Amino acid sequence: MSDQQAGDSSDWRIDYLMLAALWGASFLFMRMGAAEFGPLATAWTRVCIATLFLFPLLLWQGHWTLFKSKWKLILGFGVFNSALPFALFAYAVLHISTGLSAILNASVPLFAAVVAWIWLGDRLNHWRITGLFIGFIGVAFLASDQTSFHSASNPDASTSGQYTAIAACLLATLCYAISGSFTKKHMPNLPPLVSATGSQLGASLALAIPALWALPEALPSTQAWLSLIMLGVACTGVAYILYFRLINRAGPAKALTVTFLIPVFALIYGVVFLNETVTLSMVFLGMVVVLGTAMSSGIFPKLK
């Protein structure tokens, strides 16, 4: 199905908004869960729940034989695609706002362009290089601006703590970028449900020992448990299904742009539920990051 044909289907826009809303909510639920579970246990519980949700679907779709033939590759892929980034973001949202974390997450295509250029030899023209420059400058100024801004919703307002959290977000986006190029190079024809389920299972295994070592001493509250259930089922399991369906209905180019809408929902959730503060400079610099990311990704046809 071509992008134009897929785009003619009106219901792809519903999937698009739902996906952005769910992935935007993931930062809220991570914050609520990690506050009691801790980052490692939060990430582990998330991927375990997502595995339990996705694995029956994999069996139902008849992908078990294919999964067994490539299980080592797929499980290893889960370390960079899920285990590391989920744990890093769960740590970050304890020290910086969920809105800032989501804005930094929107730079994934920015890092993906660099990784694909270095690893896969993807061509970067002058417009895309300019986009990289704009995007990274925006990230640098955003980090500098936000570390000097104290939010009462963040338990660690120290400059060093916030810089560490921002670095964790950027490292997580780099993991996503590496995963994207790895998929293109080593798993180009693998059904999305197989890679999604396998990555969650691989992440569950990779995080098991560290998470068990870091389990909280006190029993987490019902709210924390519900947050992680929503994080695993809705923001991971259901979101993956919506994402793959969006690719089929709207095409990969349109599906990629959902990354830019996620911070909008994350900012709204942060303000409403966590009493976070959004500054004009944060919004402006976030738009600079998104603009640079869009240019570097070659989303604009005339700039490719």
pLDDT digit string, tens, across residues 111-134? 888 888 898 888 888 888 898 899
pLDDT at residue 26, rounded to an integer: 96
Which residues, at least 6 apart from 43, have a Cβ–Cβ distance to it below 8 Å? 83, 86, 87, 90, 203, 207, 211
pLDDT at residue 4, rounded to an integer: 47
Q: Measured between alpha carbons, how far apart are the two ends of the chain, in Å?
A: 22
pLDDT tens digit string along 244-298? 788 777 766 677 778 888 999 999 999 999 988 888 888 898 899 888 888 887 7
Most confident of 11-20, 125-134, 167-176, 269-278: 167-176
The mean pLDDT of the chain is 86
Share of the chain above pLDDT 70, in %: 89
56-74: average pLDDT = 93
Distance CA 5, CA 139 (A): 36
7-18: average pLDDT = 74
For the record, the structure tokens of 289 come out as: 């990051």
Please check the confidence at residue 212 and state whether its pLDDT lies above 60: yes
84-110: average pLDDT = 92
pLDDT at residue 20, rounded to an integer: 92
pLDDT at residue 302, rounded to an integer: 55
Amino acid found at 202: G
Please check the confidence at residue 303 and state whether its pLDDT lies above 60: no
pLDDT at residue 7, rounded to an integer: 43
Q: What is the pTM of this model?
A: 0.87
Which residues, at least 6 apart from 260, have a Cβ–Cβ distance to it below 8 Å? 106, 290, 293, 294
pLDDT at residue 27, rounded to an integer: 96
For the record, the structure tokens of 74 come out as: 């797929």
31-40: average pLDDT = 96
28-57: average pLDDT = 96
- Range scoring the smallest mean pLDDT among 155-159, 191-195, 212-216: 155-159
pLDDT at residue 45, rounded to an integer: 97
pLDDT at residue 8, rounded to an integer: 45
What Å distances lie between residue 290 and 115, 142, 147, 285, CA to CA?
A: 18, 12, 20, 9
Region class of 124: left (phi > 0), else alpha (psi between -120 and 50), else beta: beta
Read off the pLDDT band of 224 (50, 70, 90). Answer: very high
pLDDT at residue 148, rounded to an integer: 57
- Give CA torsion, residues 260, 261, 267, 270, to 10 deg: -110
Query: Closest Cα partner for 91 from 149, 22, 27?
Result: 27
Read off the pLDDT band of 152 (50, 70, 90). Answer: very low
Read off the pLDDT band of 235 (50, 70, 90). Answer: very high
In this predicted model, which residue has the larger pLDDT, 214 or 240? Answer: 214
